[in-house]
Structure 1
Amino acid sequence: MEQYGSFKATKRYFDDTNFPYGFKQSGDFTRVQAETLELCGATLYALEQNKQEPLNEEQQRFIAVCRGEIPAETDIEKAWVTYREALIRKGKTFNLFTSYVAGDDDDFDSSDDDLDD
Structure 2
Amino acid sequence: MSNVRNGLSKQTLLKQVFTDPKNYPYGFSRSGDFSINESKALAAYGCYIAALVDGHIQAESDDDIAFIESAHGKIEPSTTEQRAWLKYQKRINRPKAGSIYGTKKASSDTANDDLVSDLDDDLDMDLD
What TM-score results when the alignment is normalised by the length of structure 1? 0.68
- Bigger Cα Rg: 2
Relative to structure 1, is the Cα distance of residues 57 and 76 closer, same or farther in structure 2, using a 3 angstrom cutoff? Answer: same
In structure 1, the partner of 2:28 is 23
**Alpha-carbon deviations, 1:15-61, whole Å to 9, x = none?**
00000000001111001100111111000100110111111001011
Q: Aligned partners of 1:58 and 1:76: how far apart in 2?
A: 11
Report percent identity of matched pairs. Answer: 27
Question: Mind listing any 5+ residue stretches in structure 2 that lack a counterpart?
Answer: 1-9, 97-128
In structure 2, the partner of 1:55 is 60
Q: Aligned partners of 1:61 and 1:89: how far apart in 2?
A: 24
In structure 2, the partner of 1:73 is 78
* 3-state DSSP of counterpart to 1:89: coil
Deviation at 1:90, TM superposition (A): 6.1
Cα RMSD over matched residues? 1.8
Matched positions, count: 86
Q: Aligned partners of 1:77 and 1:56: how far apart in 2?
A: 15
What TM-score results when the alignment is normalised by the length of structure 2? 0.62
Supply the AA of the counterpart residue of 2:76: P
What is the aligned counterpart of 2:15 among 6, 10, 13? 10
Matches within 5 A, 1:72-91: 72-89=77-94, 91=96
Which structure dedicates a bigger proportion of its chain to helix? 2
Deviation at 1:62, TM superposition (A): 1.0
Q: Aligned partners of 1:32 and 1:52: how far apart in 2?
A: 25
